[in-house]
Amino acid sequence: MKVRWLCSGDVWANSFISGDILVDAGVLPMAVVPFKEQIKTIVLTHCHFDHTARVKEIAHMCKAKVAIHKADARGLVDDAHSLSMNFGARSPGIVPDIILTEGDTVGDFVVLHTPGHTPGCICLYSGKDRILISGDTVFADGYFGRYDFPGGSRAELSRSLDRLSLLEVEGLYAGHGDPAEKNGSRCIAAARELMKSGYG
């Protein structure tokens, strides 16, 4: 399975394309233009504005459906939950087409509900290809997402890292930073140990 990385810089979140799925929508629409006929579904890993800022425009351009976990759907219209005011902006103001829950499938991926950074954080996992698209739950540098935003929970994030540590992961594609195309499980293990150490 091929995962294409769309890097959007330090402030905005990474986006990824796999098959007809775009994961997260912080990138400028022009970055998605070459793939607009290909993308059928936009999956948002959570509701924070750096991941959702351009979802309305990209969904319209691609004629794509928007999917998000039910616990984060309100962040698409609620500025406090999206943190959009931190960016001097407003929430996208859209209603999702698809409400995701644990165990749903999107393309070749299974939806894993991994709360902690937000209540509705998800990861997408392909066991066959050992690929994890992790949003802000865990990063390839061995760190984990913040839990001090509204709805965040250190205890839940710790449990989510415990769960991810049981997976076989080679490619780890996170919401920020460079992806790890090898040894993703080691990155997750490092983040889990960091959490257990009391850091953060």
Cβ pair 120, 69 in contact under 8 A? yes
Tell whether the torsion through CA atoms of 106, 46, 54 and 10 is positive or negative.
Answer: negative
Q: Residue 190 — very low, low, confident or very high, per pLDDT cuts 50/70/90?
A: very high
Give the pLDDT confidence score for residue 199 in this predicted structure: 81
Give the pLDDT confidence score for residue 75 in this predicted structure: 96
pLDDT at position 130 over 80:
yes
- For range 162-185, the mean pLDDT: 97
pTM across the whole model: 0.96
pLDDT one-digit tens code per residue, 66-115: 999 999 999 999 999 999 998 999 999 999 999 999 999 999 999 999 99
Give the pLDDT confidence score for residue 68 in this predicted structure: 98
Q: DSSP string of 129-149?
A: TTEEEEETTB-TTS-B----S
Q: Residue 11 — very low, low, confident or very high, per pLDDT cuts 50/70/90?
A: confident
At position 52, the amino acid (one-letter code) is T
pLDDT at position 123 over 80:
yes
Cβ pair 64, 23 in contact under 8 A? no
Q: What does each C-alpha distance from 14 to 3, 11, 152, 198 come to in angstroms? A: 12, 10, 21, 27
Q: Residue 7 — very low, low, confident or very high, per pLDDT cuts 50/70/90?
A: confident
What pairing do the DSSP bridges indicate for beta strands 4-6 and 15-18? antiparallel
At position 64, the amino acid (one-letter code) is A
pLDDT one-digit tens code per residue, 143-160: 999 999 999 999 999 999
Contacts of 199 (CB under 8 A, 6+ apart): none
Give the pLDDT confidence score for residue 48 in this predicted structure: 97
Mean pLDDT of the chain: 96
Q: Identify the structural domains of the chain with CATH numbers, from first to last.
A: 4-103+110-196 (3.60.15.10)
